[in-house]
Structure 1
Amino acid sequence: MQIAVSEAKGKLTSLVRRAEAGEDVLLTRNGKPAVRLVPVTPKVDMARRMAAIDRAIEAARTHPALPGPCAARSQDFLYDENGL
């Protein structure tokens, strides 16, 4: 979508939402492309990600899974006489 900067002033919130949703938003000045609105991608913090994985692994070690019903019968819990 292309829109003039002067017109975009009153529609900024809507244009930002559209750009965040993945739509290509191009602002023009005197009919020439001036600015493109693009969503900011979050920066991946690998240290925090690895710490979360380590916590999940440790939690799995300290709290083992409890025995439950046989997986072969799991469909009994999903389906009834009316389907899913």
Structure 2
Amino acid sequence: MRISVSEAKAQLTELVRRAEAGDEIILTRHGQAAVRLVPMKAAVDSESRRALLEAARASGRGKATIGPSAARSQDFLYGDDGLPG
């Protein structure tokens, strides 16, 4: 739905309800889109955030594999004299 800012002033409560319900509300100024009303996402509490981080860490630990040391991983690019080969 597109509506001018001046018209939206009188209908703000209804426009907010519609945006919360999922309707796309675009406010226009001089016929050009200026602002889009979108619903706010629920804030994540610290316990939920901590649980999400722990799940991500556990997932990463499960996928990690032992490989070559990063300090020696590019040795194949250099010759015995230490110059690019």
Normalised to the residue count of structure 2, the TM-score between the two structures is 0.54
Q: Percent identity?
A: 60
Structure number with greater Rg is 2
Deviation at 1:42, TM superposition (A): 0.7
Secondary structure in structure 2 of the residue aligned to 1:44? coil
Aligned-partner Cα distance in 1 for 2:48–2:40? 20
Residues 5-43 of structure 1: per-residue CA shift (max 9 Å, x gap): 000000000000000000000000000000100000111
Secondary structure in structure 1 of the residue aligned to 2:33? strand
Query: Which segments of structure 1 move beyond 3 Å, counting only runs of 4 or more?
Result: none
Aligned length: 50
Uncovered stretches (5+) of structure 1, i.e. residues with no partner: 51-84
Query: Which residue of 2 is the match for residue 29 of structure 1?
Result: 29
Aligned-partner Cα distance in 1 for 2:13–2:6? 14
Uncovered stretches (5+) of structure 2, i.e. residues with no partner: 52-85
Secondary structure in structure 2 of the residue aligned to 1:47? helix
**Alpha carbon RMSD of aligned pairs, Å?**
1.6
Query: Which residue of 1 is the match for residue 14 of structure 2?
Result: 14
